[in-house]
Amino acid sequence: MKLDKTMFLILAIITLFFIVGVGILTRYGSNISDDPSFKLFFNWYIALVLVNLLNILTTVLFHYFMTDLPGERGNKGKVGEKGLQGDDDRCFCRGAVNNTNTVDTLDDTKHIHSHTISINEEHPESELLNEDIETDIKSSLIHEHNPEDHT
């Protein structure tokens, strides 16, 4: 983006030099002939050249200042062609015999289990409970230990 802004600035400076150059050369060009039709044609020609150069300068400066501003999001593009059908392999063991009997379990949750507890039974003096509620609040406690501890 910095190169774009630099190019717009360089083009604006070059356009300014052209505007100054046309202004200087206009003074010498108007002395070429004293014919009124030539002066009329020459003045119109110079006026159109200056209007064109001012339009170029305005456009270049506009783009210089608007380069870094984010624009609106554009429309969605066209959907591309469908690709080739892929393989349905799930692992890199193509052609190997699938032996599920020798695979150990990766389950690390065999020591994690839950118990249902009642808050009113565990903590009857709890200040968190509203006295107007007469139902027990039940919840689950999830923790980790050996299942043999609950015999």
C-alpha separations of 115 from 48, 66, 140, 143, 147 in Å: 91, 65, 6, 9, 12
pLDDT of residue 30: 84
Token code pair at residue 109: 């949750």
What pLDDT, on the 0 to 100 scale, is given for residue 124? 52
d(CA 26, CA 42): 9
- Distances in Å between the Cα of 117 and the Cα atoms of 24, 101, 129, 142 are 97, 38, 15, 10
**Residue in the block written with tokens 């193509």:** 94
Rounded CA gap, 68 and 6, in Å?
12
> CA 143, 148, 151: angle at the middle one, nearest 5?
100
Closest of 149, 144, 151 to residue 112, by C-alpha: 144
Predicted confidence pLDDT, tens digits, the chain (151 residues)? 576 788 888 999 999 999 999 999 988 888 888 888 888 999 999 999 999 999 999 999 998 888 888 888 889 888 888 877 776 656 555 555 555 555 555 566 666 666 676 655 555 555 554 555 555 566 666 666 666 666 5
pTM: 0.45
Contact yes or no for 141/133 (Cβ under 8 A) = no
